[in-house]
Amino acid sequence: MSKTLFDKIWDAHVVSQAEGGIDVLYIDRHFIHEVTSPQAFDGLRQRSIPVFRPGQTVATADHNVPTRNQHLPISEALSRFQVQKLSENCAEFGLELYGLGHPYQGIVHVIGPELGITRPGMTIVCGDSHTSTHGAFGCIAFGIGTSQVEQVLATQCLLQKKPKRMRITVDGELQPGVLSKDIILYIISKLTASGGTGHFVEYAGSAIRALSMEARMTICNMSIEMGARGGLIAPDETAFAYIRGREFAPQGEAFDKAVEYWRSLYSDEGALFDTEYHFRAEDIEPMVTYGTNPGMGIGISQAIPLAPESGSAQTFEKSLAYMGLRPGEHLAGKTVNYVFIGSCTNSRIEDLRIVAGYVRGRKKADNVHAMIVPGSRQVAAQAKAEGLDAIFREAGFDFREPGCSACLGMNEDKIPQGEYCVSTSNRNFEGRQGPGARTILASPLMAAATAIAGRIVDVRESLNGPINN
């Protein structure tokens, strides 16, 4: 029988079926960070049980960490305590920790792939909704709550009901200056912030196939923003080439054997999906969001709709009032004083190269504070090795140390009350980047162009060469 990629992986991980069609699902890889794990460890202590498979959990500190002077103790007391607690818990339960100062430290969804820990065919979870990122490698990866973090630590399993399958096919060729971030913002604007709920999404089509691994991660990362549990892409030569030689990837003969298996991971011809969507890459322009959820997005040439395309007028008005925007208004031309380039959506080396390629030889506008936060220490080191840091400095950008930073403002990197921020992160919720902050989601290229112009512009008008990912 024809099977979807999702079913192939899921079915291979079912330990047994419990009552009511709920599966005991085996989890290959578990990532943890400081924010959603402490209560799970407390649970283990209360039950006096160990971590069942310590080798399959990897920890890092990312959400709370400062992005300056990481060699010094964290000055904010509660953050310091939480990060400290993670170190203590990892030591007590025998878990690998890439904490502050470790060369592998970084945002949890950036380090898994770059270390070769994330691989095709796996089930991967983390107490973090953007775990969907890892699906770019052709694995089932999804976010869980802290009670489930405890369950995985205790048993390496979760009780899960199999979600429905959705396929989103994007065919065709992207216009220059349109990145994978624009593809996913476009898809979410069409499906709305709840359009994927109850589903696991497979992204397919020639436009997806043509993307680099890093660009694919950006797409899978934001699957959760349309409510989907996760997203995945069938692994191919691009994926195998990315994984080859990475720190924890299988090496030599083991790698070849793995590839043999990975090649079987695709949706069979005729496999059935519960829901299907088709889009054309040529229809996608650089995207910006105007509201307070990632579904409220438009192409840069378009105006904010006059009335909500879905949902109630009350919610739409509340959202625009928060953003200080009016129905029918264009975002192009709007003055913006803050630009944030970072987060698990767009903080990988390729994102930094794209930004550097655009800002090289240019200077940021005087009104703008432009912050670039690499996704990991490895990304930061690579950027320095390639001289990108110098390009950023000359352009007047503030190049920081790795972490989640202004994506969620848990550390001191916050956007002030009432200010607009063009951000490469994934959520434009009220207050996400600080109380009263107004987030406009966009691609790294659009963010870079905003920083240079001091206002929102259509990056296609100022490209200095064909830029794609």
Partner 1 sequence: MEKFQTLISTAVPLPIEDVDTDQIIPARFLKATTREGFGENLFRDWRFGPDGAPRAEFVLNNPLYSGSILVAGRNFGCGSSREHAAWSITDYGFRVVVSSFFADIFRGNALNNGLLPVQVSDVFLHAIFSEIETNPRASFKADLEAQSFTIVSTGQAEHFDIDPYKRMCLLNGYDDIDFLLSMKDEIAAFEAERSRKAGFVHTL
Give the contacts of 339 (CB within 8 A, at least 6 positions apart): 364, 368, 369, 370, 371, 421, 422, 423, 447, 448, 450, 451
> Smallest distance from the beta carbon of 34 to partner 1, in angstroms?
9
For residues 140 and 182, what is the distance between their CA atoms, to the nearest angstrom?
23
Task: Indicate the residue among 344 and 459 with the shorter CB distance to ligand SF4.
Answer: 344
Residue 379's H or E segment, with its range, is: helix 377-385
> Is position 130 an interface residue for ligand SF4 (rule: CB under 6 A)?
yes
Partner that binds at residue 46, options partner 1, ligand SF4, none, CB closer than 5 to 8 Å by kind? none
Instruction: Select from partner 1, ligand SF4, none the partner in contact with residue 28, using the beta carbon and a kind-dependent cut-off of 5 to 8 Å.
Output: partner 1
Cα–Cα distance list, 232 to 133, 158, 167, 345, 379 (Å): 8, 20, 10, 15, 23
Nearer to partner 1, 156 or 267 (CB): 156
Give the Cα-Cα-Cα angle 76, 108, 343 (nearest 5 degrees).
75
Q: Which is nearer to ligand SF4, 67 or 319 (CB)?
A: 67
8-state DSSP, 322 = H
What is d(CA 378, CA 114) in angstroms, rounded to the nearest whole number?
A: 8
Q: How far apart are CA 156 and CA 160, in angstroms?
A: 13
DSSP letter for each residue of 212-272? -HHHHHHHHHGGGGGT-SEEE----HHHHHHHTT-TTS--HHHHHHHHHHHTT-SPPTT--
Binding of ligand SF4 at residue 149 (CB under 6 A)?
Answer: no
Tell me which of 166, 284, 408, 456 binds ligand SF4, using CB under 6 A: 408
Kindly state the smallest distance separating residue 439's Cβ from ligand SF4, in Å.
12
Interface mask toward ligand SF4 for 41-80; x: CB under 6 A: ---------------------xx-----------------
Residues 333-362 that bind ligand SF4 (CB under 6 A): 343-344
User: Rounded to whole angstroms, how far apart are CA atoms 462 and 450?
Assistant: 11
In 423-465, alpha helices (H)? 444-453
**Min dist. Cβ of residue 179 to partner 1 (A):** 23
The binder of 107, among partner 1, ligand SF4, none, by C-beta within 5 to 8 A per type, is ligand SF4
CB-nearer residue toward ligand SF4: 344 or 467: 344
37: three-class secondary structure by DSSP: coil
Distance in angstroms (rounded) separating the CA atoms of residues 207 and 233: 12
Q: Is 406 in the site for ligand SF4 (CB under 6 A)?
A: no
Minimum gap (Å) between residue 132 Cβ and ligand SF4 = 10
Stretch 416-455 residues interacting with ligand SF4 (CB under 6 A): 425-426
Q: With CB under 6 A as the contact rule, which of the stretches 44-52, 242-250, 353-361, 401-409 interacts with ligand SF4? A: 401-409
Q: Which is nearer to ligand SF4, 130 or 134 (CB)?
A: 130
Closer CB to ligand SF4, 109 or 438, in the complex: 109
Position among 7, 23, 114, 128 found at the interface with ligand SF4 (CB under 6 A): 128
Residue 257, contacted partner among ligand SF4, partner 1, none, CB below 5-8 A by kind? partner 1
- Phi first, then psi: give them for residue 448, nearest 5 degrees: -65, -45
**Contact assessment for residue 112 and residue 131, using Cβ atoms and an 8 Å cutoff:** no
For residue 352, give the 3-state DSSP assignment. helix
Which stretches of the chain bind ligand SF4, using CB under 6 A?
62-63, 107, 109, 128, 130, 343-344, 404, 407-408, 425-426
